[in-house]
Structure 1
Amino acid sequence: MLAMTDINTIRNLRNNHDQSIESIRKSLNINWRTAKKYADKDFVPKIKLHKRSGMMYEEKWGDIVSLWLTEDFKLPRKKRRTNKQFFNDLIESGFPGSYRTVCNFVQEWKATHTDKGEVKDLGYERLEHPAGEAQLDFGTMEVEKDGSFVDIKILVMTFPFSNRAFGIALPAENQECLLERIKQILKQINGVPTVIRIDNMSTAVV
């Protein structure tokens, strides 16, 4: 079977340049029947996708490590976590795999998602977020106070399924402020999420 680039070339020569089958055959040095097949039939071969298998791809562990890696690439190199740290953090969450499994996944992720030390938009899959599930994280917001702009801390709860978000300011990133502001956000939405995902927030983890 021809590569997609060759197939597109055949169709382009036929449809946009009015070349004959014989002319296309000679130009690309291919069989006449092959040239005819792709030039005059509405035929596009199915692309075979390689489905990765294993716990890092079939369970939640790969998504967790991918998120950690994306976050770490925003930090200076010296502050990024090592494979051993990834492994230890996963073990604390009940990860049943081996250190080598984590290393292999990290190596493959970096090969497909980074370019010259920077994260690139390659290989991402669309995430499916069930309705009613929320994510929680701290953030920073610039506001005007007494004629000057200052940064304040906010707690943000997002609902990826509906693309809605609720935020509320807080004086500090401590557990007391976190719990009080969560209660206030739940009053705003007049309900409770089915699941709240909190990623790597030490205040909540402790």
Structure 2
Amino acid sequence: MSRSEIARRPDVDRATVAKYADMDDMTPKPPMDRRQGSKIDPYAALVDGWLEADRRPPRKQRHTAKRVHDRLRAETEYDGEYTTTPGYVRRWREANRRGSDGYGELVWAPGVAQIDFGVAKARIAGELVDDHCLVVTFPHSNMRYVTSLPGENAECLCHGLVEVFEHIGGVPPVIVMDNATGAGRRNARGEVTPAAVLDVFDIKKSLSHKGNPYDNAVVESTNRPLKKELVYRNHYTTIEQLRHDLNDYVWWSDNQRLHSTLGYRSPKEFTEQGLVL
């Protein structure tokens, strides 16, 4: 078919026909990078100096991307958008990461539990009262249990733990906790004096403290949404109604919530497949 015959077809321009007829290779070419230099480039040495100096202070005193952007706007003639700054800071930190800046993933052994008390303001029978939620989590399986108690002393801790142990049908060999009064405390010499309740169950104690790699992050991350999104937002007629809502949350979290760390299975499904708490 000649070029003229092709061009006579509807919606085909003669110039387009000529262009493709003369092409030897019709493989699509990758798009060209048309980006010009970033507005932050003239200030790169200055920002690099700030970030390099950040290696010395504690992590919480270092520059955030927002702080870098604010300093550039205040101390220089930089007029770029904020969205440019985080990208530059991220690329610098990735390129200049030291071996000591890395971290190891914290692996929790099966059966190890974390416990934590959280005080939430609860509206019960029209009154705003303190509700002490004892949260017990098993980081290996993400199973969790919650009970509402009137206080945080040793008696309340004992009652709450017995309730949880009866529910799971056993006692965890190790419990990681903070320095709550009911669980134990440190004396002036830094020695731990555990509560007698832990000795009764022959539980190994692991109190959270500086230098201890096992912190309470998992259980504390459970406590926060319970206090802010469940207990405080709702109105209850009785403490039993509050406990019922807490139990409903625990059932949903253990039976329906899927976790990527468990292969997108629920904690219940994870344990039923022969894997332990």
Task: Tell me which interval the TM-score lies in, with the shorter structure as reference length.
Answer: 0.3 to 0.5
TM-score by length of 2: 0.31
Instruction: Pick the structure with greater CA Rg.
Output: 2
Structure with more contact order per residue of length (Cα contacts < 8 Å, sep ≥ 6): 2
Superposition TM-score, scaled by structure 1 size: 0.40
